[in-house]
Chains A and B, each alone.
Chain A
Amino acid sequence: MARANRREPVGGAGAAAAAAARVPRARHRRRLPLFAWLMVLPAVAVLLAVTVYPLVYSLRESFYRIELTFSPTPEWVGFKNYVDALTNDPRFWPAMGRSLYLVAFGVAIELTLGFGLAVVLNRLGRPRTLVTALLLVPVMIAPVAVAIEGVVIFNNSWGPLNYLLSKIGIDGPVWLGDRSVALNTILLADVWQWTPFVAIIMAAGLRTLPEEVYEAAAVDGAGRWRTFRTLTLPLLQPLIIVTVLIRAMDIFKTFDTIFVMTGGGPGSATETASFYTYLQGLRFFSFGYAAAISYIQLIIITVIATILVRRMRKGLG
């Protein structure tokens, strides 16, 4: 006996009724897309105007020589800007190296500390809400304000950090004036500001984990470290990947703290790719070249993000 297909009409009258019922529904479906488009149109327009259009425009610019201090007329040069950046610019690759250093260590430290904070946060009872709110304070401060605070805190002569260190017998380094330390000082400011963000996301993720699997693991005699490695990390993998990607992209773009705290110095110690792009575009007004090195960075960070996601899935899976 053939099974009735619930979607197909059964019998004549029923078929007519169903057909009649279908007609208004079909009309109703045709109206929906237009209405839906009208609702999202403002957001789409804004997205096109502030994201897609500048992206496409700057891609076009990257194939031109645009030196505004020399001539307002763009000159087609094809891939020359890209070739120059990749092979002839002694500052580009070192700047990229510094950016990738910040990304690698920044993400690693923030993830580690953030996770630790998340575990502590989830063990707090009533104070959790208040502590969470307090943890959000650094995240809400504008990066440029953090940088200005950093200039004061890290001041070698008058700053509170070296003062406190001196009280415990430590001669603090010249945080912003020593080229062997300056990039790590920038990293420190970033870790201070964004570790709470990672902690809050991880804490939320930890709270959604199913208790049953932990109970089963406990019954099977799994220790803390094994439980963490084989249960917690894999279960949190999607959240970790997203958090790592967000932080990696953010750290790569770091500009405010460098501009305010060190200006790219001492020497070239904190001249990262984003700072160098700013110099090329907004100090030198070499818009074509700045656009090209922006796109090179975009390609590199996209490749790294893709590799990162694949490795993390493999490692945690």
Chain B
Amino acid sequence: MPKTWDEYLQVGQFFTRKAGEKLAGKTLTRPFYGCDEYGQRGFSWAWFVDRWASAGGVYFDENMKPQIDSPAAVKALQNMVTAVKTCAPKDVLNHGYDQLRDALLKNQAFMVVQWTDVPKKGADPTQSDVVGKLGYALLPGTKTGGKIVTRSMMPVGRVLAVTKNSKNPEAAYWLAKYISDDTSKFNVSTPLTGLDPYRYSQLKPSFYKMFKSKSDAQTYLKTVEGALTVGFPEIYIPGAAQYEDALDLAVNKALSGQQQPEAALKDAAKAWDSITEKLDRKHQTELWRNALKTYRELGLVK
């Protein structure tokens, strides 16, 4: 498996073949792609952040200055643009979660970056044409100071909370516990849901019956656990949807050839500044500094 994003491109390009060419001794009747990406508007920014965060990227600096147009960010976006152009299906810009999952499970693509529910579906013969043929690994990273740093975007959290105005807080707590603890291991371990393991108590191989062997399940869960330790957060301050949409638009413009990566990210940085001004720069800066402090304390950001 590729260890760096540069290797990812090399591997992806190597395995990309046209219909009629040979792969693993067999003549292909359909094109086969070395990789696939989340190219659809809406979430393509997360696949970019996977690359950029491994190069040390952080959304803003201490003074709320956007960092998404840094040279590292431009290089990360260029990597994604190259992947889209050279080793992904032609309609990759229309690929969301479903198409990306199916590209792997229907044997159209050699490798994809996806959520942790996809390997479970990959082991389910009712959903997958590649049962027993999948391997799992942490995302490629970027070599920094002689060491390969890998980060995994952790978008979409699942949190249950009891409000302070609750009329029956104890009952609400026990219900939250029932959902989040008692029954969650069934919900996250079945291949029929899109849920990802998020508690250590959910990482027992015996829960994941779709895998052919215990060691397969262990390999999968070890990778999940590894990804959790190198998770990278979304933006969680007010205006998050606006910041993310502006970044997503820039990423998508670069992927579609509408703009060069550098120009696209500069526009995104400009849009981020406008959003910050619109929402009150002083207030946003204070919130971001608090968030950054918490991310650093938790080891999510160096």
* Residues of chain A having any CB pair with chain B under 8 Å: 67, 69-70, 90, 151, 155-157, 174-179, 262-269, 271, 279, 283-286
Contact = CB atoms under 8 A, between A and B. Distances in A.
Interface in B256-279: 256-259, 267, 271, 278-279
B252 A266 contact: yes
Contacts of B242: 283-284, 286
Q: Is the interface of A mostly helix, strand, loop or mixed?
A: loop
B238 interface: yes
B41 A69 contact: no
A113 B9 CA distance: 47
Among the interface residues A263, A267, A286, which one has the most CB atoms of the partner chain B within 10 A?
A267
B110 to A, nearest CB: 15
B89 A267 contact: no
A63 to B, nearest CB: 16
B32 to A, nearest CB: 11
A178 B40 CA distance: 11
B238 A179 contact: no
A176 B42 contact: no
A269 B257 CA distance: 11
Nearest to B250: A267
Given A157-B89, A266-B41, A267-B258, A69 B94 contact: no
Contact of A268 (B253, B257, B279): B253
Given A174-B91, A262-B94, A284-B245, A267 B252 contact: yes
* Interface size of B as a range: 35 or more
**Interface residue SS majority, chain B:** loop
Given A69-B240, A176-B91, A279 B245 contact: yes
Contacts of A279: 245
B91 A156 contact: yes
18 contacts: A67-B238, A67-B279, A70-B279, A70-B280, A175-B91, A176-B94, A179-B257, A262-B40, A263-B42, A263-B96, A265-B42, A265-B94, A266-B41, A266-B94, A267-B257, A268-B252, A269-B258, A286-B242
Given A67-B278, A267-B249, A174 B40 contact: no
B39 interface: yes
B239 interface: yes
B286 to A, nearest CB: 13
Contacts of B280: 70
Nearest to B279: A70
A90 B267 CA distance: 10
Contact of B239 (A69, A156, A177): A69
A266 B39 contact: yes
A262 B93 CA distance: 9
B44 to A, nearest CB: 8
B271 to A, nearest CB: 8
Contacts of B95: 177
B87 to A, nearest CB: 15
A177 B258 contact: no
Contacts of B255: 266-267
A156 B267 CA distance: 31
Contacts of B41: 262-267
Given A265-B252, A266-B94, A70 B89 contact: no
Nearest to B251: A267
Interface in B211-268: 238-242, 245, 249, 252-253, 255-259, 267
Contacts of B79: none
Interface string B46-68: 00000000000000000000000
Contacts of A262: 40-41, 94
A156 B90 contact: yes
A157 B94 CA distance: 11
